[in-house]
Amino acid sequence: MVGTRTRKRKDESKNRGYITQEGYRRLEEESHYLWNVKRPEVADALQAAAAEGDRSENAEYIYRKRQLADIDRRLRFLGNRLDALTMVSETPPSDGKVYFGCYVTLEDEDGNVVRYRIVGADEWDIERGEISVDSPMAKALMGKQLDDEVFVKRPKGDMWFTIVEVAVAPQ
């Protein structure tokens, strides 16, 4: 068919999902920043560029118009996600099992130790040591407990891990 578009990614903006309080707050802060700081800045710059004359050849005008559209698109996405997400505010039980929101310390076959927190798909950040509840690692860990050995099928190779600590709060 000519003129039809196919989505490369599945639209998950209205799918229900779980998120921690911290992750929800970060998304709210991003939305607040975009709406109250970034969008007005770009709108002012767009207005200034429009005043310069011929808009068809005005690179600044075209750039700012595209930037404003990107901000509006992100704001719509954030609005849909914040409405659809379920914030998990309860602290997981401290019974040694791995739950959503837990901090898990693992030791791999070579003795390397890593620590992750299992969070929602909308908030994971490997730099902060957060992994998505939908990741192969988190799926393998959920419901396991201290001293369990866990086999993880990872994109960079399968591996065995031992759970050496499960915590409900950062340490």
**What are the per-10-residue average pLDDT scores of the chain (171 residues)?**
48 72 95 97 93 82 94 95 90 89 94 94 92 93 94 87 92 76
* Matching fold, domains 17-88 and 103-167: no
pLDDT, position 57: 79
pTM over cut 0.75: yes
pLDDT, position 10: 53
* CATH code of domain 103-167: 3.10.50.30
Give domain 17-88's CATH number out of 3.40.50.300, 1.10.357.10, 3.40.50.2300, 1.10.287.180. Answer: 1.10.287.180
Q: Where are the domains of the chain?
A: 17-88, 103-167
Taking the C-alpha atoms of residue 132 and residue 145, their distance in angstroms, rounded to an integer, is 18
Task: Quick: pLDDT tens for 88-120.
Answer: 988 888 888 999 999 999 999 889 999 999 999
